Amino acid sequence: MKFAAKRLENLPPYLFAEIDRKRDLLLAEGHDVISLGIGDPDMPTFDNIVEKMKEALDNPANHKYPSYAGAPRYRAACAEFMKRRFGVVVDPDTEVLALIGSKEGIANLFPAFVDPGSYTLIPGVGYPVYDGGAIINDSLSYWMPMNDENEWLADFESAPPEVLEKAQMMIINYPNNPTSAIAPVEYFDKAIEFALKNELLLIHDNAYVDVTFDGYVAPSILERPRARECCIELFSTSKSYNMTGWRCAFAAGNADAIKTLGTVKSNIDSGIFTAIQDAAIEAFLGPQDGTDKMKDLYQERRDAVLSTLESMGIDALQSKGTIFIWAKVPDGYTSAEFAEKVLLDAHVIIAPGNAYGPYGEGYFRISLATPTPRLIEALGRMQKIM
């Protein structure tokens, strides 16, 4: 007997399985392996947020089932954040929805908006849940081309008519994981125009909106004209406030779409623990100096990684945001071969680019979410083997 639905056969093989196996062998031999593969901040959640959580725990009203859509005070705080940060006014009752992390929101987009057998346009390299969510929903992905030539701006214009005929949704993500690319506002405008023309719901995953460098301030797509007619934007506390473990995010945008997503979710989950929502209110509206310091630290690490890669003759994107560096594998290797070489010879884990989609072959990703001394040690080892 096999206890797995047929659709699961379509999930891609776990590309880190072989790396994990070799890592375990090295660890068993007593080697010190450093991982630059993980996209999880190494620093703790900021103190003011943790303190707020402690207080919120003592409120018995918080111990009951949460509101499905998010506590009214949480949704009001999300709306206030949108206003302060972007000058965007959203109605907290109809245009904001709490999410148990944006990953949950992304997975539930598919049953909410895409019929089985229909297409979603997804980034040609991207967060694996975009394709995984489509597969689990028995729907199809069109990988929008992304490469050096188009500056890693997902090329929706290339979608053929037979795909567009059956497409219901399109997902973009800037600042981008895994490439660290950012998008000019003109790109967002074109994406909105394209979505309106082709009757697509446009999703902007804005997980890295507040992890940016060199003074770059990332926008909300909802700042752009007509965005509210066709867009939902996803925001998360995870990367902005080192809160990946708390599972707290929100969606904002088109009221009809927010309502539909809420309907699906109310049949699946029962909302975010209300105490966590109280802590997240502090994150969004409290002092932002923790985020500012965090950006400075990532920027220092970015500079260290980019200058080391340059000294090794490796080309990398000059990142303006996210916690990742996207670099070209040296000639003569595939992504997987190079990741294996770096693991076996330098005992350092890097992420092979093809793990993120078909346009990632020939690249690798380094995470900046590693304590600085370990990151420097890993870079030194990589330099030695090249």
Shortest gap between Cβ of 207 and ligand PLP (angstroms)?
4
Per rule CB under 6 A, is residue 272 in the interface with ligand PLP? no
Q: At what angle do helices 129-136 and 102-113 cross, to 10 degrees?
A: 40
Shortest gap between Cβ of 258 and ligand PLP (angstroms)?
17
Per rule CB under 6 A, is residue 177 in the interface with ligand PLP? yes
Pick the piece of the chain touching ligand PLP (CB under 6 A) from 58-66, 237-245, 262-270, 344-352. Answer: 237-245
Shortest gap between Cβ of 136 and ligand PLP (angstroms)?
16
Cα angle 161-164-169, degrees, rounded to a multiple of 5:
165
Number of residues that bind ligand PLP (CB under 6 A): 14
Tell me whether residue 241 or residue 382 sits nearer to ligand PLP (CB atom).
241
Contact pattern from residue 3 through residue 42 relative to ligand PLP, giving x for each residue in contact according to CB under 6 A and a dash for the rest: ------------------------------------x---
Per rule CB under 6 A, is residue 241 in the interface with ligand PLP? no
Tell me whether residue 276 or residue 382 sits nearer to ligand PLP (CB atom).
276
Shortest gap between Cβ of 30 and ligand PLP (angstroms)?
33
Per rule CB under 6 A, is residue 244 in the interface with ligand PLP? yes
Shortest gap between Cβ of 346 and ligand PLP (angstroms)?
25
Shortest gap between Cβ of 47 and ligand PLP (angstroms)?
21
Per rule CB under 6 A, is residue 205 in the interface with ligand PLP? yes
How many angstroms separate the CA atoms of 352 and 285, rounded? Answer: 37
How many angstroms separate the CA atoms of 1 and 312, rounded? Answer: 52
Measure CA 23 to chain center. 25
Per rule CB under 6 A, is residue 253 in the interface with ligand PLP? no
Per rule CB under 6 A, is residue 173 in the interface with ligand PLP? yes
Pick the piece of the chain touching ligand PLP (CB under 6 A) from 62-70, 236-244, 270-278, 340-348. Answer: 236-244
The greatest distance separating any two alpha carbons of the chain, rounded to the nearest whole angstrom, comes to 61
Binders in 40-99 for ligand PLP, by CB under 6 A: none
Binders in 115-144 for ligand PLP, by CB under 6 A: 127
* Structure tokens that stand for 194 in this block: 């394209």
Q: Contact 200/172 with Cβ under 8 angstroms?
A: no
Per rule CB under 6 A, is residue 187 in the interface with ligand PLP? no
How many angstroms separate the CA atoms of 235 and 212, rounded? Answer: 15
Per rule CB under 6 A, is residue 249 in the interface with ligand PLP? yes
Binders in 206-235 for ligand PLP, by CB under 6 A: 207
Shortest gap between Cβ of 166 and ligand PLP (angstroms)?
25
Shortest gap between Cβ of 173 and ligand PLP (angstroms)?
5
How many angstroms separate the CA atoms of 372 and 379, rounded? Answer: 10
Tell me whether residue 354 or residue 367 sits nearer to ligand PLP (CB atom).
367
Q: Which of 23, 103, 228, 302 binds ligand PLP (CB under 6 A)?
A: 103
List contacts with ligand PLP (CB under 6 A). Answer: 39, 101-103, 127, 173, 177, 205, 207, 236, 238-239, 244, 249
